[in-house]
Amino acid sequence: MAWQTGVSRVNYDYDSMGKITQTDYNNGSIVAFKVDSSDGSCPKGTNPPTFDNQNATGTLFIEDEETFPRYVYYSISFTGGIWKVSYRVNVSCSSDFFDYYEGNDGTSICITVRKKLRKIGFEFCFQGYIDMSNKTTSGYSYQNSVDYCWERKSYPIGIWNSEEANHISNLVLSLRSSLDSIAKTNNTYIRIDGIRKANCQMTPETAECMSVEGFTFTGLPVENFDAYDWVTDSSAMETFDDNCIVMILNGTDPIKMDVRRFEVSKISEIQMDFSCFSTGSPLPPKMILCSSAAWIF
């Protein structure tokens, strides 16, 4: 908005604006609105910035380092000598997420993470607990990841293409320092989407069972495993509970995918429900990655 008095003019940027009462030349100042018109025409009519006394509408795209990208859809109306600006906001990701990713194909997702770390006085950043005396026996089960993501209106993350795989790998590597400084370990399995179907648990090496058809996904099923950089391949099944897809963060090694077991108690072994449990070896499952389609918030 621009305000003019005499030969001086001052411009103001507003994040929000209340009602503005119309003035005339007797007030000694001029108030003007800047409106971006999609058809290239200028406001006209009795009371600009309306167009022939119809509401002026527009869209703002806001992107900065402090917030997730967002669109603001606004309308300027004039009734009873008062201008009013109304708007609605469509944000790409809600505050439950910490990363926004947009691929070259135009698709975009929001990503959130949970790290199972020792509580250190700021639980809004890190939640959960790890037994510092035995780092290989505490972590998240596959069901934990499904429940945690669902609470945030999301799903365990899946990998759709090599570009996305590279972005998520870099994201995981950026979290290594948090694991190292707080949990005193930077080696972990990371819970993502995908659990082997029951009919493939006896025949994991068949073509169908090695494909995405051999796994159940809680989110939108990935189309293929082309972007999955496996330790061996998708048929990996060292023990009966090797049924959940994980990402591996292990020292300075490149991020890899695997289908891993998690050692269970004797009671759980008797019940043996192939649910991919929360404790195990050689690495503990200390992290969950969730994602949601962007621009739905």
Contact between 117 and 86 (Cβ < 8 Å) = no
Confidence of residue 123 (pLDDT cuts 50, 70, 90): very low
Residue 149, φ and ψ in degrees, nearest 5:
-65, -40
Decide which of 109 and 5 is more confident: 109
Do 105 and 220 lie in a common domain? yes
pLDDT at 75 over 90: no
pLDDT at 1 over 60: yes
Do 24 and 125 lie in a common domain? no
Average pLDDT over residues 34-44: 66
Structural domain range at position 187: 99-293
Nearest C-alpha neighbor of 54 from the set 63, 45, 62:
45
Do 120 and 266 lie in a common domain? yes
Greatest CA separation found in the chain?
Answer: 89
Put simply, whether the predicted model's pTM sits higher than 0.85 gets the answer no
Q: Which range (70-74, 93-97, 107-111) has the least confidence?
A: 107-111
What's the pLDDT score for residue 190? 86
Domain total of the chain: 2
- Give the residue carrying structure tokens 């505050």: 95
pLDDT at 263 over 60: no
Do 103 and 71 lie in a common domain? no
Do 153 and 280 lie in a common domain? yes
Do 274 and 148 lie in a common domain? yes
Most confident option among 75-84, 235-244, 266-275: 235-244
Q: Among residues 91, 123, 140, which one ends one of the domains?
A: 91
